[in-house]
Every structure is written in C-alpha cells, then in structure tokens.
Amino acid sequence: MDINLIFRIAGLGIIISIFNMVLKQADKGEQAHLLTLVGVVVALMMVVPLINSLFQNIRGVFGF
Amino acid sequence: MEIIKIIGLGLITTILIVIMRQQKPEIAIYLSIAAGVIILTLVLSRISDMIDIFQDLAAKANVNMLYLGMVLKVLGITYVTEFGVQICKDAGESAVASKVEFAGKVFILVLAIPLLGAVFDYIVKLIP
C-alpha cells in the first residue's frame, strides 16, 4: 500500500493550519473556519475511497 | 519482512498525528483512519492465505462448509466492528463507539441463532 496518502493528509493539515494562523492574524476568522471545513472535506474525499476498498477486500476475504 | 514495514508506518503516522493533534484534531482523525486502513489491508492478504488453509483443513476433516462460513463471517464482523469502534474511541466519542460495538454483537448473535437452533434440535434428539 502507499504511505503517500498519509503524507498527503499530513501536508494538507499542516498547510491548512498555517493558512489558518495567517487568516486569524488578518482578522478573518470566519474564512479561517471555512478553510478548515474545506480541508476536512478534501481529506474525507481522500480517505473514503480507501475505506471503500478496505470494506470490499474484507467482504471478499470473509465471504459476506 | 512485512512487519518492519508496518511498524515504520505506525511510527511515522504516530509522529504526524502528534504534530497534527495540537493544531487540527479533525485532520489527525483522518490520519489515524488512513493508517488503520492501510495496515489492515496489508494484513488482510495474509489472513486470506490463512483462511484458505483453514478451508482446506475443514474439507479434509469433512466439516460442513456452512459452519466454517459462519465462523468466518463472525470473524469479519468482529474485525470491521473493532476498526470502527477504535476510530470512534480515538476521536473521544466513546458513546458512539459503544453503540457500534453493541450493533456488532447483535449482528453476530443474529448470525449465530440458526446454529443455536441446530444445537437444540440435536439435544432434543438425544433426549429419549
């Protein structure tokens, strides 16, 4: 499996937290909140296919 | 050596999660989910080999394949439920985690009830 996905999610988190700090310094709290939301959605879109493939694999192995 | 790969993955993910948790706990949950899925997928191919061996053994010992399938299904439900429960607990939602665990127990019981009926039939046959 690829560990790249973990690095990608971690990088996304770090970038978002940096941008969040910048936006909070510039007094744009609500946009910082929206940015966090977007980050969460993007990470969700990365993780959901992975979970789907895991469940398909488990179904195949255990014969559901 | 696959285990070294898995240990390295776990350590790297742990470090990243510890960094992330102070800033953005919501992204840290995704990291732990991704690590869990990757490790489980790595292990799953080995489990698949093991299940093949068990099926061979069961065929040699003339065990009914229906029962082995049932046991495997229960095993699968346990693994999946444990995965979900651990993620919920990791995020601090132990209430949701215990509900998921309860659902897993109920589904295992639903799978096992026909077997219980077969056991009772057998007992009734034994009693003269």
**Residue B64, pLDDT score:** 83
Distance, in angstroms, between A10 CA and closest chain B CA? 7
- pLDDT digit string, tens, across residues B47-67: 999 999 999 999 999 888 888
Whether the Cβ atoms of residue B9 and residue B36 lie closer than 8 Å to each other: no
Chain B (84-123) residues lying within 8 Å, Cβ to Cβ, of chain A: none
User: Can you give the pTM of this predicted structure?
Assistant: 0.85
How do the domains of chain A map onto residue ranges? 12-58
Residue type, position B69, single letter: G
Closest Cα to residue A53, out of B45, B46, B2, B123? B45
User: Residues A16, A17, A22, CA angle at the centre, nearest 5°?
Assistant: 95
ipTM over 0.90: no
Q: Do A3 and B24 touch (CB under 8 A)?
A: no
What per-residue string of b and e applies to A12-40 under the rule 16 or more CB within 10 Å gives b? bbbebbeebeebeeeeeeeebeebbeebb
How do the domains of chain B map onto residue ranges? 1-63, 64-128
Q: Do A40 and B76 touch (CB under 8 A)?
A: no
Tokens (6 digits) for B68: 């082995």
- pLDDT digit string, tens, across residues A27-44: 988 999 999 999 999 999
